[in-house]
Structure 1
Amino acid sequence: MIRLSTLLPAALASSFLLVSCAKQEAGPDKGCSELLAVPVSAHGLSSAEVATINGLFVRNRLDSRNLRYVRYVRESVQTYFPPYASFDSQVVTVEQYTNGLRIFTSQTIFAFKNGSFNFQNGQLSSGTSLSTSPMLSAGQVRDLFQATITEFDADRLKEVQRQCVSAEFGYYNLNAGISYAPEKLVKAWRVSLKNQEYPFAYYQDEAGQLIYYDNGIRTFR
């Protein structure tokens, strides 16, 4: 189940990770807070796949400077309507960056048919003039994360207190997932337990407001 803060509307490694970890200087927890940075050049794919995708973007005159490749699928697709034919399908999923920082809400898909650009799913960011300097520290963000766990998942608090927290600074589009709404980027943090997918949370940097929290629990009816 996804739980959201009422303060703001919700939207919907390896050698390339730049990491520093230290005990936080202030705050009630004083636990390990790891500052995580993933550069735009740190594609989550093999070097051969990156070279192939670079070729696709160059040949189709698409700008990839602010795109980090995170998924690539290539397959032969057969049509089942006249005129019957098969074509080479290549689909690239990317994360967008601006000012060298990740936009947490901007995964976009580029689809290519026989090497030619076919369609794009998701809008490209217009960028932002916001600074690249956070107001909060990784230690302060850890305290916010602990408070969120206490509010929504109190039974996991002791588990969280024993583990290191990874905190990445970037941008968040508060209007992501809202049809025809203009992009509204804010400086934000993504926080999670080190090397774990869940739970995770996003916080606005300016005032430490919770934007989105996900504990990984899904309820189906």
Structure 2
Amino acid sequence: MKIVASVAAVVAVGIFATGCSVSGTPQAAPDHAALLLPADSFPGGAGTTVPDAQIPGIIADVTQRPLRGEVDPAECTPPQVHAAGAAAVVGPASAGGATLTELVVEAPDSLERFATVTSACNTFRSGATGNQEVSTTVTAQPLERDGVSRMQLTRTLRSAGADTTTDLEDWIAQRGRTRLIVQLRGQGPASDNDRQAAQTFFDEAVTHAFSRR
């Protein structure tokens, strides 16, 4: 798989808008940076911490809730999470070119509610121009273990007229209002090696974020 620039570029060149807010009502939020795995924990090499100003863009990139433009149908707009206090690291999944993003945010809804809303919208259109088709499948419904709910989903992004797809695989965990997402992103379906490495990374991330709380 080729390197997918949409996530990595936000760290390297800051292409995302910095003045937008993903959260609704302003509120104090904890700093989640300490919950992230160290940047050198990524399976393909060292990751890069996302600057605070670029967090809204990363949230939009991971959740598919756009910073600008609308979702069609509107009721399929992915549920919002709070940008305040959120933290993220982006790094390589492997030498093959896929990327991994670890994101920790405050979420107003439970993971069960998120799964219900997400499952109801298999396909919608999004992006600034509205020409990107997003297909979503919840591959594992929320299951609680040791006080932490976990689920998985996959998304396929296809732009009008494009011959290739961007494939996302999300591993998501939540306790209380704290949600942790590990997203594997690549051009086309992930390899078995990348998927296994992402699963291991997620398991380590959940332990690091929640075992001491």
TM-score by length of 2: 0.31
TM-score by length of 1: 0.30
Task: Please state which structure has a larger fraction of its residues in helix.
Answer: 2
Which has the larger Rg? Answer: 1
